[in-house]
């Protein structure tokens, strides 16, 4: 058995050691108390923060509930207003429909009344015209008006020639010479024609003008020399065709004949050229038409 000597600096019974130990304990106790106080302070702050969070949460919940109530109230109020506006609108629509039906009914009645009045006026007008024509015809027959000095003139358009004649047996005091002229027919090539227009130069000098478009072969021009000028331009979808105008009557209007001489080509029919021009005293017609091969 070994015995170790106890040093005076470590001897717990030594007053100095006990004082030092007590001081160390005091320091440790103060540190512990400080830690405890800090922990208590922290716990207090936590509780305060928790209380504040709980308070804010409760406040938020109250505000949320209040907001939801306000939203529900606003929706309810808006729904009521919409319902009221919809009901008012439905009433206005029905009133408008009634007004429109009534307006249409009145308008139709007025139209029918105007149509009936117009029909009566037309019928009366036609009766008046027929009666006047009957009286005038009777008067013309009684006066035995007839045409004299018929004369043919130049061709005016394709297959058409102008004729004139003078109306005889027109009394000097007869004041409807133009009407008599327009109503008195003349025979040309075995067919009766009434004048297209009349000129009143005084008694026994009333001139009638006719445009006869039958049995006038000298006025029948025709197209020859067909020429395909190709597409108007690449991708245009249109083609150009030219014709030369033959048998143009001497002294006639080449533009009129070019525009009225019919043409047939590529399965198409035209009453005349679309464009006309002259070159070297010759007349040419020009057509432009759609063509898929030019696209």
Query: What pLDDT digit, counting tens, does each position of 80-103 carry?
Result: 888 888 889 889 888 888 888 889
Measured between alpha carbons, how far is 177 from 198 in angstroms, rounded to an integer? 9
Measured distance CA(200)–CA(202) in Å, rounded: 6
pLDDT digits (tens, 9 = 90+) for 244-295: 999 999 889 999 999 999 999 999 999 999 999 999 989 999 999 999 999 8
| CA atoms of 254 and 275, how far apart (whole Å) | 12
Cβ count near 253 (within 10 Å): 15
pLDDT value at 139 more than 80: no
Question: Over the chain, what is the mean pLDDT?
Answer: 88
Query: Measuring CA to CA, how many Å separate 16 from each of 6, 106, 138, 155?
Result: 14, 130, 172, 159
Q: In angstroms, rounded to a whole number, what is the distance separating the alpha carbons of residues 16 and 9?
A: 8
Question: What pLDDT digit, counting tens, does each position of 24-78 carry?
Answer: 888 888 888 888 888 888 888 888 888 888 888 888 888 888 888 888 888 988 8
For the record, the structure tokens of 55 come out as: 């308070």
Lowest mean pLDDT among 47-56, 153-162, 185-194: 47-56
Domain boundaries along the sequence of the chain = 12-143, 147-217, 221-294
CA 207 to chain CA centroid, Å, is 51
4 pLDDT exceeds 50? no
What is the end-to-end Cα distance of the chain in Å, rounded? 128
For tokens 């030369």, the residue is 244
pLDDT band at 173; cut points 50, 70, 90: confident
Q: Please report the pLDDT score of residue 197 as a whole number.
A: 95
State the pairing for strand pair 263-265/238-246.
unpaired
């Amino acid at each position: 058995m070994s015995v170790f000597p106890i040093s005076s600096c470590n001897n717990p019974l030594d007053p100095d050691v006990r004082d030092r130990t007590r001081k160390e304990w005091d320091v440790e106790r103060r540190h512990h108390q400080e830690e405890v106080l800090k922990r208590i302070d922290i716990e207090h702050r936590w509780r305060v923060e928790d209380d504040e969070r709980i308070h804010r949460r409760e406040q938020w919940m109250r505000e949320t509930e209040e907001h939801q109530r306000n939203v529900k109230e606003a929706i309810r109020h808006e729904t009521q207003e919409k319902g009221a506006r919809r009901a008012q609108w439905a009433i206005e629509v029905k009133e408008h429909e009634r007004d429109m039906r009534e307006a249409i009914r009145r308008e139709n009645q007025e139209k029918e009344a105007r149509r009936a009045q117009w029909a009566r006026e037309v019928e009366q007008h036609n009766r008046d015209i027929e009666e006047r024509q009957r009286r005038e015809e009777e008067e013309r027959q009684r006066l035995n008006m007839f045409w004299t000095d018929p004369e043919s003139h130049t061709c005016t358009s394709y297959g058409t020639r102008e004729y004139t004649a003078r109306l005889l047996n027109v009394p000097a005091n007869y004041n409807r010479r133009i009407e008599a002229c327009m109503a008195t027919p003349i025979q040309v090539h075995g067919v009766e024609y009434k004048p297209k227009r009349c000129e009143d130069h005084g008694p026994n000098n009333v001139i009638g003008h006719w445009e006869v478009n039958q049995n006038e072969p000298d006025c029948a021009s025709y197209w020859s020399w067909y020429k395909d000028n190709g597409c108007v331009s690449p991708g245009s979808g249109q083609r150009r065709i030219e014709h030369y105008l033959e048998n143009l009557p001497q002294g006639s209007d080449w533009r009129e004949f070019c525009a009225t001489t019919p043409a047939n080509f590529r399965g198409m029919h035209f009453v005349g050229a679309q464009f006309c021009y002259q070159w070297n005293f010759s007349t040419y017609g020009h057509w432009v038409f759609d063509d898929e091969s030019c696209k």
